Structure formats: structure tokens, C-alpha cells
């Protein structure tokens, strides 16, 4: 089983770039969404953004600062992580019964 993550699909470049962060659980994401004072270190497994270019079956890479600027309006990785957590969909891991409708298969 793959690690749980929250993903956001960008239409800025190819229309198929899938940006994501690995998360502890859907419960941790929901807690952060309700209370932004929850530390990101308690929500994300690694303080990094990853991207699948086009086909999500390929190997993930890290986006450039220019990619972050284009897609998220900032080259700041923390801002991109917060954007993904706020606007993305939960994938992988176990679905929480409290997933607030953001779980996606």
C-alpha cells in the first residue's frame, strides 16, 4: 500500500502535473484544515512537495522553484504545502471516516 498523501492537479503547464505531499493521515489533515495552528510537522511526513509529470505511473520528482511560482504563486515550499493541504484531495492509505469529503480513489 502506498503512503497517504494529499494531491493537487495543476493545469498550469501540461494539464496533467500532479503535485503532492506525503501526510501522516487524513485525520491529521482535517485537524490542520480546521485549526491552522497545528504544526505542519504533525501533518506532513516530509516537508517537501513532489510532482508526477503527466502520467502518474512515472517516478515522482521535486518541482523547481519556477514550477512552484507558476503553479502556487510563490516559490516558498511551505506556502505550496499549505496550498496543497487546503485544496488537494486525499489519496492512498486508509480512508478516515472523518475525511470531510476530500478522500479520492
Write down all domains in the chain, each with its CATH number in brackets.
Answer: 5-91 (3.30.1250.10)
- Pairing of the two strands 50-52 and 17-22: antiparallel
Question: Residues with Cβ < 8 Å from 11, sequence gap 6 or more?
Answer: none
Tell me which H or E stretch contains 85. Answer: helix 77-87
Query: How do residues 41-89 score in pLDDT, each as one tens digit?
Result: 999 999 999 998 876 566 889 999 999 999 999 999 999 999 999 999 9
pTM of the prediction?
A: 0.82
Q: What 8-state DSSP symbol labels residue 30?
A: H
Query: How do residues 4-34 score in pLDDT, each as one tens digit?
Result: 999 998 876 556 788 999 999 999 999 999 9
Q: Is the dihedral of CA 21, 6, 40, 10 positive or negative?
A: positive
Amino acid at each position: 500500500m502506498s503512503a497517504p498523501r494529499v494531491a493537487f492537479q495543476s493545469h498550469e503547464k501540461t494539464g496533467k502535473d500532479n503535485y503532492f505531499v506525503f501526510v501522516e493521515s487524513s485525520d491529521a489533515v482535517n485537524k490542520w484544515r480546521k485549526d491552522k495552528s497545528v504544526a505542519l510537522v504533525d501533518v506532513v511526513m516530509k516537508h517537501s512537495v513532489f510532482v508526477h509529470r503527466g502520467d502518474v505511473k512515472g517516478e515522482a520528482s521535486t518541482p523547481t522553484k519556477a514550477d512552484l511560482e507558476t503553479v502556487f504563486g510563490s516559490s516558498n515550499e511551505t506556502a505550496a504545502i499549505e496550498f496543497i493541504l487546503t485544496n488537494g484531495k486525499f489519496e492512498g492509505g486508509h480512508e478516515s471516516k472523518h475525511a470531510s469529503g476530500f478522500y479520492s480513489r
